Amino acid sequence: MTCYDLHSHSTASDGSLEPSQLVARAIDKGVDVLALTDHDGTEGIAAAQQAAQGSDLRLIAGVEISVTWAKGTVHIVGLNIDPENDVLQQGLSSMRDFRVGRAEEMASRLEKAGISGALEGAKKYASEVMLGRLHFAKFLVEHGHAKDISDVFKRYLVRNKPGYVPGDWASLTDAVHWITAAGGQAVIAHPARYKMTATKRRRLITDFKDVGGVGFEVVSGRQHPEEVKALAKLAQQFELLASCGSDFHTPDNTWVELGNLAALPESCTPIWSVF
Ligand code: AMP
Ligand code: MN
Ligand code: MN
Ligand code: MN
């Protein structure tokens, strides 16, 4: 059976492997089709594509766009995008600009909470192209302000905690539009991970479908089998395609591995039926 992993990160966003290392690891783990879906940018794709050349691995050009919807943040994955597309790149560049200002603001809020040097410290963990909360989290752990990454996301950088800056990301409409303009398929990332009621989740899916979204991740890394079942049912009800992806960021996280995913339930129409 073909092994699909349609959600992963490299050093072009907040992953810890270079695109070429990520591709090598995917091959090693038996992945046949890998999508590189870095946050709000496509800078890693050329290198990943080059690394995949001459191997049996098929690299899908992707992106994971941060969206503000109903005052919260949701992530929309674009698959099979043309990274050269102007509409997409203009949209993404506005998001990168927002990230620069947000990082400065996060650092100044941490400073007020008595933690200095966060901006420089976070940059040490990041590539030139993207600075995110995970880079700040690594700095905070390194300096003993939290015991590990998940501890950081409980005590810092989230609502009502030091270092939090509200997101001002793309609208759902814009994110889906950029992806479709670039020839890609828009998919809601890890729909079970958002803290929202079932009713609100259905509203998200409805809104998403209304603006041209075609699927969501029925299977994502570290997910309970019951959740997979519930999501498969939702996909069927809404007549949406099913995607699957590990959301791999780093080999350090031993419970999320490239290609290590449950099979999509029989009732699902896989997103790759339209690839
Ligand atoms: P940003 O897009 O800069 O707001 O950062 C979001 C990223 O932070 C996610 O893609 C994850 O990589 C990371 N993240 C958020 N919450 C957690 C968490 N509880 N544990 C580990 N990583 C997290
Ligand atoms: Mn991330
Ligand atoms: Mn995400
Ligand atoms: Mn992700």
The ligand whose atoms approach the alpha carbon of 188 most closely is: 3
d(CA 13, CA 62): 12
Q: Which atom of ligand 1 is nearest to the CA of 99?
A: 3
Closest residue CA from atom 2 of ligand 1: 132
Q: Return the pLDDT at 273.
A: 98
The ligand whose atoms approach the alpha carbon of 75 most closely is: 3
Q: List pLDDT tens digits, range 226-246.
A: 999 999 999 999 999 999 999
Q: Return the pLDDT at 74.
A: 98
Query: How far, in Å, is the centroid of ligand 3 from the Cα of 120?
Result: 24
Query: How far, in Å, is the centroid of ligand 2 from the Cα of 85?
Result: 23
Residues of the chain with pLDDT under 50: none
Closest residue CA from atom 5 of ligand 1: 133
d(CA 192, CA 213): 17
Q: List pLDDT tens digits, range 197-231.
A: 999 999 999 999 999 999 999 999 888 999 999 99
CB 212 within 8 A of CB 74: no
Q: Return the pLDDT at 222.
A: 82
d(CA 168, CA 56): 40
The ligand whose atoms approach the alpha carbon of 153 most closely is: 1
Q: Return the pLDDT at 212.
A: 98
d(CA 202, CA 223): 19
Q: Which atom of ligand 1 is nearest to the CA of 64?
A: 10
Query: How far, in Å, is the centroid of ligand 2 from the Cα of 134?
Result: 7
DSSP-H helix ranges across the chain? 19-28, 45-52, 86-112, 118-123, 133-142, 149-155, 172-181, 198-210, 225-237
Q: Coil, helix or strand for 220?
A: strand
d(CA 38, CA 214): 20
Q: Coil, helix or strand for 154?
A: helix
User: Which tokens is 92 given?
Assistant: 């993404």
Pocket of ligand 1 (CB under 6 A): 14, 39, 66, 132-134, 149-150, 153, 249
Query: How far, in Å, is the centroid of ligand 1 from the Cα of 133?
Result: 6
Closest residue CA from atom 17 of ligand 1: 153
User: Which of 133, 161, 248 is the best mutation target for the ligand 1 pocket, counting ligand atoms within 8 Å of the beta carbon and taking the most?
Assistant: 133
Query: How far, in Å, is the centroid of ligand 2 from the Cα of 22?
Result: 15
User: Which tokens is 240 given?
Assistant: 């949406």
Query: How far, in Å, is the centroid of ligand 3 from the Cα of 27?
Result: 23
End-to-end CA distance of the chain: 17
Q: Return the pLDDT at 83.
A: 98
